[in-house]
Amino acid sequence: MADRIASSLLKLLTYIVFVISTAVILFPVFKGIRYFNPTFFTEFPSQGMTQGGIFPAIVGSLLLMSLVAVFSVPVGVLIGVFLSEYAKPTWLSALLRTTITTMTSIPSIVYGLFGLAFFCITMGFGTSLLSASFTLSIMTVPFVGGSVSNFLMAVSNDLREAAMAIGADKRETVFMVIRAAKTGILSSTLLGLGRAFGETAPILVTGAVFYATNLPRRLTDPIMTLPTHIYAVVTNFPEDAYWMAYGSAALMVIIIVAIYSIVQWIRRRSS
Amino acid sequence: MKRTILSVILLLALGFLLMADTLVIKGSNTVLPIAQRWVEAFKKYYPDLAVTLEGAGSSTGIKALFNGTADLANSSRFLKSSEVEKMHAEGKYFTPIVIAYDGIAVIVNKSLPINDISRETLKKIYTGKITTWNQIDPSLPKKRITIYSRNTASGTFETWENKVLDKERMAPWVQMLESTQAEVEAIKRNPYAIGYVGYGYVTEDVKVLKVEGVAPSMKTILSGEYSISRPLFVFVDLSRFGNTWPETNVVAKFIKFIVSPEGQKLVEDAGYVPAYPTTSSE
Amino acid sequence: MNKEIVYEMKNLSAWFGKNQVLKNVSLKIYRNKITAIMGPSGCGKTTLLRCFNRLNDYTESFRVEGDIFFNGQNIYQMDPVQLRRRVGMVFQRPNPFPMSIFDNVAYGPRIHGLAKKRGLSERVEKALKAAALWDEVHGELRKSAYKLSGGQQQRLCIARAVAVEPEVILLDEPTSALDPIATERIEKLLEDLSSRYTIVIVTHSIGQALRISDYLGFMYKGELVEFGETSQVSEDPRHELTQLFLTGRIG
């Protein structure tokens, strides 16, 4: 009897959580999707953000994500491979692993401050696409690295031994393990980029402007991005500009949901 | 990996070749809605120009002017004495241009039967000497006043501090809000709340009080009759141009544009009070 | 009778950390014969087998004393990659690579540069035929190896080992995860393969050891208690423990 009550309570709780999370996902979409039209996607914002669209923010986010992918995916995967396949179980590798786990839970604004001090000022990149993409990459690398190493370590030792037993050297064996974990690696990188895509604070201090008349032409130009655009509109403009924030939020939610769906699809297809 | 690094270097190199005229504007969030309109309109006259506009506050804008990362700094306050000293020490020459006035409107819930308030009373409310509405007027409800303020980083707060608090400390129970919008929303929902917002942000949802018998309006703010108002500035560093007015430079052209009737009309569109005529007098 | 020695193990002892798993083992493996090592689980027979291709070496805590000669050459003075190219291995659980059937078999020849494109498909076909898998898969060589049944996967692993044309094939309880029909097929296959390869098989199945082997060893608690020709060991074991194991009283 007590079991029955407990299980129906848990069931109820699960349903409630499900409904709430669905609502959180759907609310901005419903609220913002009505503003979707060709102008919204192809024009610059105009008249105090009351007219026009979010084209430069979309382009900015895309550029930023491409650079983050170029910088962080190779490095993240290499770190993951090193941790899983090469690092001997010493205190140093344990420290490295702990550091990486810790880095994934550091608040993103801390990365922003680092990026501001190091990339914008010390390296002299200024408020720019380059500074922002380096900053986000530094944030993404530990996530991708940690996650990739977990996927590689989950590969059965049987496979490593199979490769070794046929005379594969270390490098060939590692490639075999990577091959076995490739869907895991792919989803790690997608999730890492998805996380970076939604970040606001680090970009706000390292690369974003609230309004630019032109798309960035150089890596040292600043950019508009979707999350910082929402922030700019909500905190600085009167209510007649709010629609633009809702529209941008809807687009972001749709993109994030799409990324996660792709990851799920990849995982399901491979199992 | 090698190829990645190489292409990044190439991109950078390519970038420098394509360098065009740029104008970087930083500073006050209050000025942002005006500045966005200026930049958009100005761009039509100079299509080759690339302008970026960044918020983050008056102090940040002035700091950017000091380290040369901005061409123009928007500010909702004049230079602090520390900034003036630093300016002299570094041989800079920041020139202020008043571009608009921002009246700060005192707002309450529409249901509250009050229409007029004195600066003295406002000061007592914000410093905590008055805590319930009926202390102001016995006919008002005997309810605790919920007090809202903008956070201390905002230019609006600084003006409030100067014009209302006379530098006295705010009561600890004053609630600090991140944005003007949040304040309007909160007061709309709370019948016993009071707050202050830029005149341009007032909506139909709340009631604006007269201060010392004067309602904020374009006319009263510009004439100075309405007491809680402040000028908004654009600062430009003339030491970059050999301490003269850079007639042919894009900075000068931009300033000429923003004080022109067309530029000042945009100030009005953004909900602020223009500092100069919005129609050309022939 | 040709009794050419392929492997000679002399006084081999081995440890994982402080735990001694092999105690002073000496034995000889003869060319083109099937040698079976049997014994209860945990007796060290798998560790012994993995000494032949130095597959224990990558385990940090593993330590070994004594000598193993492969065709007269000390294997601890050989490059393990070269050694393993000449000594194939099949594991307890089928462990095909995450690739197509064809690529699984072609993997060894490819990494060792043994055949170019045309020769490669011939080699793969030959190996699959040798592993008695060709008839079942020849139409679908591009299919993922994971789509095969357990028994087919194990024969694929045999084909993979055979494809590099090794001298020796080591098998670690290759049928323990398979059903009786698949087991029978593999046993039959091993007998066919023994005409061309030297085979060392570890098994805990007495029946299997007796059915297929020419030489038979019995291990108990890290020691090679008994070793000799299968007929001799089964009919007249020298050691009492062997007798007890063969009659099912230990194991």
Cβ contacts of B37 on chain A, cutoff 8 Å: 47-48
Q: Is residue C163 part of a domain?
A: no
Do the two chains A and C touch, given a threshold of 8 Å on CB pairs and at least 3 pairs? Answer: yes
Q: Is C163 left (phi over 0), alpha (psi -120 to 50) or beta?
A: alpha
Give alpha helix (H) positions in C80-147: 80-86, 101-111, 117-130, 134-137
Task: Tell me the shortest Cα–Cα distance from B51 to chain A, in angstroms.
Answer: 5
- Contact (CB, 8 A) for C111 and C117: no
The answer to whether the CB atoms of A218 and B1 lie below 8 A apart is: no
Inform me whether the pLDDT recorded for A15 exceeds 90. yes
Residue B36 to chain A, least CA–CA distance (Å): 6
pLDDT greater than 80 at residue C1: no
Q: How confident is the model at residue B269 (pLDDT cuts 50, 70, 90)?
A: confident
At B241 the three-state DSSP class reads helix
Check residue B16 and give its pLDDT.
Answer: 47
Chain A positions touching C174 (Cβ under 8 A) are none
Q: What share of chain C has pLDDT > 90, as a percent? A: 66
Verify whether the Cβ–Cβ distance B12 to A218 is below 8 Å.
Answer: yes
**C142 occurs within a structural domain:** no
Summary mean pLDDT of chain B: 87
C158 domain-assigned: no
Residue B60's contacts (CB-CB under 8 Å, 6 or more residues apart) are B26, B27
Distance CA A168, CA A157 (A): 14
Percent with pLDDT over 70 in chain C: 99
- The domain segmentation of chain A, as residue ranges, is 36-270
Which residue of A71, A211, A220, A231 is the best one to mutate when testing the B interface, meaning the one whose CB has the most B CBs within 10 A? A211
Amino acid, res. B107: I
Phi/psi of residue B72, each to 5°? Answer: -135, 140
- What is the pLDDT at residue B2? 57
Nearest chain C Cα distance for residue A271, angstroms? 11
pLDDT digits (tens, 9 = 90+) for C62-100: 999 999 999 999 999 999 999 999 999 999 999 999 999
In the predicted model, is pLDDT for residue B13 greater than 60? no
Name which of A47, A212, A234 is nearest B51 (Cβ-Cβ): A212
Name every residue in A having a CB less than 8 A away from some CB of C.
88-89, 156, 158-159, 161-169, 172, 176, 179-180, 182
Quickly list H helices, A34-154.
38-42, 55-81, 91-105, 108-115, 129-153
Please enumerate in sequence order all residues whose Cβ is within 8 A of that of A195, keeping only pairs 6 or more positions apart, or say none: A139, A140, A143
Residue C120 lies in a domain: no
pLDDT tens-digit readout, B175-201: 988 777 788 889 999 999 999 988 877
Of chain A, the percentage scoring pLDDT greater than 90 comes to 71
Rounded Cα gap, residues C75 and C170, in angstroms: 15
What ipTM does the predicted assembly reach? Answer: 0.89
Residue B21 clears pLDDT 90, i.e. is over it = no
B203/A contact by beta carbon, under 8 A: yes
A164:C95 CB<8 A: no
State how far the alpha carbon of B126 is from the alpha carbons of A250, B113, B121, B149, in Å.
Answer: 39, 20, 9, 9
B119 class by beta-carbon count within 10 Å (0-12 exposed, 13-18 middle, 19+ buried): middle
B181:A234 CB<8 A: yes
Burial of C145 (0-12, 13-18, 19+ CB in 10 A): buried
What's the mean per-residue pLDDT of chain C?
90
Q: For residue C45, which of C245, C220, C206 has the smallest C-alpha distance?
A: C220
Q: Looking at the partner chain, which of A89, A158, A165 has a beta carbon nearest the beta carbon of C84?
A: A165
Residue B186's CB is within 10 A of a number of other CB atoms, namely 17
Residue C138 tokens, joined: 């020849």
Chain A interface residues (partner B, CB cutoff 8 A):
44-49, 70-71, 74, 126-127, 130, 208-214, 217-222, 232, 234-239, 241-242
Cβ pair A234:B18 closer than 8 A: no
Cβ-defined contact of A236 to B18 (cutoff 8 Å): no
Weakest mean pLDDT among B85-89, B204-208, C38-42: C38-42
Residue C241 pLDDT > 90: no
- Are C37 and C223 contacting, i.e. CB atoms less than 8 angstroms apart? no
> Do the Cβ atoms of A166 and C161 come within 8 Å?
yes
- pLDDT at position B3 is 60
pLDDT tens-digit series, residues C19-48? 999 999 999 999 999 999 998 888 899 999
| Per-residue model confidence as pLDDT tens digits over A215-235 | 998 898 999 999 999 999 888
Q: Is B179 in CB contact (< 8 Å) with chain A?
A: yes
- Does any CB of chain A come closer than 8 Å to the CB of residue C202? no
pLDDT digits (tens, 9 = 90+) for A101-159: 899 999 999 999 999 999 998 898 988 999 999 999 999 999 999 999 999 999 999 99
Residue at C106 is within a domain: no
C-alpha span between C59 and B62 (Å, rounded):
63
Range of the domain at C30: 5-94+168-246
Contact assignment for C97 to A176 by CB distance below 8 Å = yes
Report, as an integer, the average pLDDT of A167-174: 93
CA distance A52 to A241: 11
Angle among Cα C11, C191, C234 to the nearest 5 degrees reads: 55
* C175/C203 Cα distance (integer angstroms): 9
d(CA A135, CA B95): 35
Give residue C159's pLDDT.
94
- What is the least distance, in Å, from the CA of B44 to any CA of chain A? 10
CB-CB contact of C6 with C29 (8 Å): yes
Q: For C154-171, what is each residue's pLDDT tens digit?
A: 999 999 999 999 999 999
Give me the CATH number covering residue C40: 3.40.50.300
- The amino acid present at C45, given as its one-letter code, is K
pLDDT at residue B7 in the model:
63
Residue B282 has pLDDT above 70, yes or no: no
Query: Domains in chain B, please, with CATH?
Result: 15-101+231-274 (3.40.190.10), 102-229 (3.40.190.10)
Check CB contact under 8 Å for A236 and B179. Answer: yes
Structural domain contains residue C156: no
Among B102, B112, B149, smallest CA distance to B128 is for: B149
| Euclidean distance between the first and the last CA atom of chain B, given in angstroms as a whole number | 65
The answer, yes or no, to whether residue A176 has pLDDT greater than 90, is yes
Provide mean pLDDT across the span B113-130: 92
| Inter-chain residue contact C111 with A161, CB threshold 8 Å | no
Mark residue C231 as left, alpha or beta (left: phi above 0; alpha: psi -120 to 50; beta: remaining).
alpha
Number of structural domains (chain C) is 1
Q: By the 8 A CB rule, do C37 and C219 touch?
A: yes
Residues of B in Cβ contact (< 8 Å) with A231: none
Query: What is the CATH code of the structural domain delimited by A36-270?
Result: 1.10.3720.10
Is residue B189 classed exposed, middle or buried when 0-12, 13-18 and 19+ CB atoms within 10 A define those classes?
A: exposed
Eight-state DSSP code of residue B135: G
Rg, Å, chain B Cα set:
22
Out of B1, B19, B184, closest to residue A74 by CB: B1
